[in-house]
Structure 1
Amino acid sequence: MTTAPIRRTDRRISPVFLGIAAVTAVSGWAAWTGFADNPGLAVFLFVTAAWIVSLCLHEYAHARTALHSGDITIGAKGYLTLNPLKYTHALLSIVLPVLFVIMGGIGLPGGAVFIERGRIRGRWRHSLISAAGPLTNVLFAVVCTAPFWLDALDGVPDTFRYALGFLALLQVTAAILNFLPVPGLDGYGVIEPWLSHRIRRQVEPFAPFGLIAVFVVLWIPEVNRAFFDAVDAVLRALGVTEWDTYWGHELYRFWEGSQEIPGVSGS
């Protein structure tokens, strides 16, 4: 099997990603300690930066899996550096997902890294490449909720607890939406290799509009209610209550400042 000629610079972590990770750490510390005069601002910076980190890891998982599946061009494209500016569509990969979080508190997936599928042999490999991204969101959700399902919340400030709960909600929504078998999303990428050539050719024109269609459908009240009921059920299984996610969202939207957050000073 051909090995990828990956140079050291191709896999060196980008200063851009390190900067985002630093913002996550500093704002998380501010949310934990109550150092910030406005705890909502600290939560906003922490959740947004952590969400971008998860988007970078999502795309990295796609790229790394593709590399080991046969696409030896991944390194030269900069995808292994975790730099979001290297993505094929930085607007779709970072800007729009962040805007969706700010507007509606939902972790809509983005895209994408360009993978040369012609270099990859085997349907299972193609499916695994597509599944690697949302599986990263699943892992991120498990990590965010670990203090909840491990019953290790003693001593955790309410501000930080609510922030983790809201961040976990974003990861769960992203994982569920990504796994939908909708053209343009990872869920369709998982099943696409197993479809006939005729079906794939018929579906292909709709791929650019898949994400938009999901966003529009989620605005239907009945669909939105059913979707978030499913999300809440998953979060409850992980120990996160609707109380945690609700107040996490309220803190995140600090500019509204309409309610007194339980257990949070300065709100």
Structure 2
Amino acid sequence: MTIATMRRSDRRISPVFLGIAAITAVAGWAAWTGFAEQPGFAVFLFVTAAWIVSLCLHEYAHARTALHSGDLSIEAKGYLTLNPFKYTHALLSIVLPVLFVMTGGIGLPGGAVFIERGRIHGRWKHSLISAAGPLVNLACAVALLVPLGIGALDTASVDFQAAVAFLGFLQVTATVLNLLPVPGLDGYGIIEPWLSHKIRRQVEPFAPFGLLAVFGILWIPEVNNAFFDTVYDLLSAFGVSPNLASYGHSLFQFWQ
């Protein structure tokens, strides 16, 4: 196998990702047309698969930006194939975010791909690499909520509209949470290059616990209420009713 062949395979979209995308399409069609006898299960499959697709795109954005910023090791790691099993922390990047959605209805961001930061020079490049992931979530939120808000999906079933609203809600929560300047999240990664070496050394030990800390703080009623009020206000700004997203969440949890 030549080096050129290896590079092509390192960039070829993974069949795993294509399979997840296919599940998204089929489940979305079933929810759109009302074909499924149990709409809740169709909504569950659609939202879960679409959420995993967005997580893959989130990590891909980090990797692609890092590649163009100077980390040429990205290709060999398989990050550009969109295969979730290629991520350094598949548990943090895929499994935990899905569990957060299933248990709490929150689009909590996952872990990141491994980037060799020493290969990258320039603070702006480091910040952009960290910002690339949340920007994907923001783009997904806009792509989902704008058509819903302007009535472009009015011909679809109410169940499908609710599923899209809930999925858009997850993208908004992921964007907001991931932009928090908490060690371990992309928000901190954006500002980290601009901090002094002393501060970075002091904060570094807390990075592995940042994600869990955010999840724990969200259990505080006052924080939880303020957070969801903000997210619902953002949904309303897109012209999407928070009640529709809540209905989508109830359909998603079909087992209850």
Q: Same fold (TM over 0.5)?
A: yes
Contact 2:47 2:167 in 1 (8 A): yes
Q: Which moved more, 1:234-243 or 1:77-86?
A: 234-243
Q: Quick one: which amino acid aligns to residue 83 of structure 1?
A: N
Contact 1:60 1:82 in 2 (8 A): yes
Contact 1:131 1:186 in 2 (8 A): yes
Mapping of residues 247-258 of structure 1, within 5 Å: 247-256=247-256
The separation in 1 between residues aligned to 2:14 and 2:81, in whole angstroms, is 5
Q: What residue in structure 2 maps to residue 119 of structure 1?
A: 119
Larger helix proportion, structure 1 or 2? Answer: 2
Q: What residue in structure 2 maps to residue 156 of structure 1?
A: 156
Q: In the alignment, does 2:17 pair up with 1:23?
A: no
Q: Quick one: which amino acid aligns to residue 205 of structure 2?
A: P
Contact 1:6 1:75 in 2 (8 A): no
Q: Quick one: which amino acid aligns to residue 223 of structure 1?
A: V
Q: What residue in structure 1 maps to residue 223 of structure 2?
A: 223
Q: What residue in structure 2 maps to residue 178 of structure 1?
A: 178
Q: How many residues align?
A: 253
Question: Per-residue CA shift, 1:46-92, capped at 9, x if unaligned?
Answer: 00000000000000000000000000000000000000000011010
Structure 1 portions without partners, runs of 5+ = 257-267
Q: What residue in structure 2 maps to residue 238 of structure 1?
A: 238
Question: Per-residue CA shift, 1:2-34, capped at 9, x if unaligned?
Answer: xx9981101000000000000000000000111
Q: Quick one: which amino acid aligns to residue 135 of structure 1?
A: L
Structure 1 runs (4+) deviating above 6 angstroms are none
Q: In the alignment, does 2:46 pair up with 1:34?
A: no
Question: Per-residue CA shift, 1:136-188, capped at 9, x if unaligned?
Answer: 00000001112223332331210100000000000000000000000000000
The separation in 2 between residues aligned to 1:116 and 1:107, in whole angstroms, is 27
Q: Structure 1 123/225 Cα, relative in aligned 2: closer, same or farther at 3 Å?
A: same
Q: What residue in structure 2 maps to residue 57 of structure 1?
A: 57
Q: Quick one: which amino acid aligns to residue 203 of structure 2?
A: V
Contact 2:33 2:156 in 1 (8 A): no
Contact 1:5 1:72 in 2 (8 A): no
Q: What residue in structure 1 maps to residue 100 of structure 2?
A: 100
SS for the counterpart of 1:100 is helix
Instruction: Calculate the aligned-residue CA RMSD, in Å.
Output: 1.3
The separation in 1 between residues aligned to 2:112 and 2:122, in whole angstroms, is 21
The separation in 1 between residues aligned to 2:49 and 2:154, in whole angstroms, is 25
Q: Quick one: which amino acid aligns to residue 175 of structure 1?
A: T
Q: What residue in structure 1 maps to residue 189 of structure 2?
A: 189
Q: Structure 1 60/24 Cα, relative in aligned 2: closer, same or farther at 3 Å?
A: same
Q: What residue in structure 1 maps to residue 47 of structure 2?
A: 47
Structure 2 portions without partners, runs of 5+ = none
The separation in 2 between residues aligned to 1:250 and 1:69, in whole angstroms, is 42
Q: What residue in structure 2 maps to residue 8 of structure 1?
A: 8
Contact 2:63 2:80 in 1 (8 A): yes
The separation in 2 between residues aligned to 1:5 and 1:191, in whole angstroms, is 38
Mapping of residues 206-221 of structure 1, within 5 Å: 206-221=206-221
Contact 2:30 2:36 in 1 (8 A): yes
With structure 2 as the length reference, what TM-score do the two structures score? 0.97
The separation in 2 between residues aligned to 1:222 and 1:99, in whole angstroms, is 23
Identity of aligned residues (%): 74
Q: Structure 1 24/184 Cα, relative in aligned 2: closer, same or farther at 3 Å?
A: same
Q: Which moved more, 1:146-155 or 1:133-142?
A: 146-155
